[in-house]
């Protein structure tokens, strides 16, 4: 840009050449990753740095500004938004000292460059965390006023708005009685505050974390685990040995979930459970036992679960989202124009969607046929290439 401005006197031809060149190489894939994905990961790395690794506010703002300028040349801006939202969710939920002010700076830059709709859900996510802290504060006051003291454990609940956050896996998990008691007390508080009919709580165990004291023979270690991992460990308070099938049945886990959770507790870096046979993979015939001899130099350790990033699912979800977006664009155009020729409709649809992504003509054709089948549009009887909006 400096060369175009200084050496070529801000000539429009050179501006156009620069833009065309950047569009070509910015939309190439690198080692199987799109530039949209890489830019989102770059933003995530900058914003989640902690301690000595953290950049100054000025350096963070400068880097984010460069990302937003590059984003102009990216065709799949909706893919960037999808990765950005997923990464933002992780930072807000799992980074204890997440800087919401810096998150707002990035969202402000994106909003200025790409419009309010682009950042709407992400802004709601940041606001949700503020409201969740207020809700937790009110809950603690409720416990104090009602003199509820014997919950058996401390509980912090983060209430998220459905639709604003990425979709998370939900499943029914058989919880210990103390956890159920805590959830029922919170539900009573929440129903009293917001009304039972206006809002419904749905618990997402896959996002929960627990701090559990492990009373090992060498010393007591505080284990930071997921809700599901904690529930498995608590089974061993009342049993010396449990089989794979017993754990699965007692907790109502699927094979996929049980395998991943038990692998994290018995085959990874921290072997909290001993497994028979002592192999590095989980099978339905395995027997598990609490490893009372376990120790570590730290008094507090986090036991991670291996997360399989399913890129295929991300692409499938994106394709579905794009279909709905194309449908909405076609209906919006036809609602305002009432009658429109086939080529004009294609042209206007591409123009409307290009700030977000580059739609394929064949996909638009399919969505037009879909909307005709759903009675949103109809073809003109005399000319099949003319469409009418059905009110």
* Contact present, 85 and 166 (Cβ < 8 Å): yes
Query: The domain 311-389 is classified under which CATH number: 3.40.718.10, 1.10.10.10, 1.10.645.10, 3.90.1650.10?
Result: 1.10.10.10
Q: What is the 3-state secondary structure (H, E, C) of 332-378?
A: HHHHHHCEEEHHHHHHHHHHHHCCCCCCCHHHHHHHHHHHHHCCCEE
> Is the pTM higher than 0.85?
no
d(CA 92, CA 19): 35
- Per-residue pLDDT 10s for the chain (391 aa) are 899 999 999 999 999 999 999 999 999 988 888 999 999 999 999 998 766 677 888 899 999 999 999 999 999 999 999 999 999 999 999 887 778 888 999 999 999 988 898 999 999 999 999 999 999 999 999 988 887 777 888 899 999 998 899 888 888 899 999 999 999 999 999 988 887 777 888 999 989 999 999 999 999 999 999 999 999 999 999 998 999 999 999 999 988 888 889 999 998 889 999 999 888 888 899 999 999 999 999 999 999 886 665 677 788 888 999 999 999 999 999 999 999 999 999 999 999 998 889 999 999 999 999 999 999 999 988 898 999 998 7
Asked whether this chain's domains 1-126 and 208-302 adopt the same fold, the reply is no
Domain boundaries in the chain? Answer: 1-126, 132-206, 208-302, 311-389
Kindly report the CATH number that applies to the domain delimited by 1-126: 1.20.1310.10
d(CA 390, CA 363): 21
d(CA 379, CA 376): 11
- Name residues whose C-beta falls within 8 Å of residue 244's C-beta, 6 or more positions apart in sequence: 258, 262, 282, 283, 284, 285, 286, 287, 288
d(CA 289, CA 262): 11
CATH classification of 208-302 is 3.30.230.130, yes or no? yes
Can you tell me whether residue 288 is helix, strand or coil?
strand
d(CA 40, CA 76): 12
Can you tell me whether residue 386 is helix, strand or coil?
strand
Q: Dump strand ranges (E) for the chain.
A: 209-215, 220-226, 241-243, 273-276, 287-290, 300-302, 339-341, 377-379, 386-389
- Count of C-beta atoms within a 10 Å radius of residue 158: 16
d(CA 365, CA 375): 15
d(CA 236, CA 246): 12
């Amino acid at each position: 840009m400096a060369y175009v401005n200084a050496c070529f006197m801000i000539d429009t031809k050179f501006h156009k050449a620069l833009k065309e060149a950047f569009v070509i190489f910015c939309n190439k894939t690198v080692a199987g990753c799109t530039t949209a994905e890489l830019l989102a990961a770059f933003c995530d790395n900058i914003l989640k740095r902690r301690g000595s690794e953290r950049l100054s506010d000025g350096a963070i703002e400068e880097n984010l500004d460069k990302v937003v300028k590059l984003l102009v040349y990216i065709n799949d801006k909706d893919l960037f938004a999808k990765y950005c939202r997923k990464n933002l969710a992780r930072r807000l939920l799992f980074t204890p000292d997440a800087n919401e002010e810096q998150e707002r700076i990035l969202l402000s830059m994106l909003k200025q460059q790409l419009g309010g709709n682009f950042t709407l859900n992400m802004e709601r996510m940041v606001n949700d965390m503020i409201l969740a802290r207020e809700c937790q504060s009110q809950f603690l006051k409720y416990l104090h006023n009602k003199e509820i003291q014997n919950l058996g454990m401390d509980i912090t609940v983060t209430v998220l708005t459905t639709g604003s956050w990425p979709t998370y896996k939900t499943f029914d998990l058989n919880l210990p009685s103390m956890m159920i008691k805590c959830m029922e007390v919170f539900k009573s508080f929440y129903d009293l505050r917001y009304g039972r009919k206006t809002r419904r709580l749905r618990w997402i165990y896959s996002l929960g974390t627990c701090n559990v004291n492990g009373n090992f023979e060498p010393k007591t270690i505080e284990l930071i685990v997921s809700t599901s991992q904690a529930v498995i460990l608590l089974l061993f308070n009342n049993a010396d040995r449990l089989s794979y099938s017993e754990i699965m049945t007692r907790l109502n886990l699927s094979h996929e979930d049980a395998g991943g959770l038990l692998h994290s507790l018995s085959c990874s870096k921290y072997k909290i459970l001993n497994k028979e046979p002592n192999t590095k993979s989980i099978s339905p015939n395995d027997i598990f036992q609490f490893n009372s001899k376990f120790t570590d130099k730290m008094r507090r350790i986090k036991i991670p679960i291996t997360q399989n990033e399913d890129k295929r699912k991300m692409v499938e979800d994106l394709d579905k989202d794009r279909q709905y977006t194309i449908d909405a664009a076609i209906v919006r155009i036809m609602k305002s124009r009432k009658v429109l020729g086939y080529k004009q409709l294609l042209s206007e649809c591409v123009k409307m969607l290009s700030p977000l992504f580059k739609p394929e003509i064949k996909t638009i054709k399919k969505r037009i046929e879909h909307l005709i089948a759903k009675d949103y549009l109809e073809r003109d009887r005399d000319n099949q290439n003319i469409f009418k909006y059905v009110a």
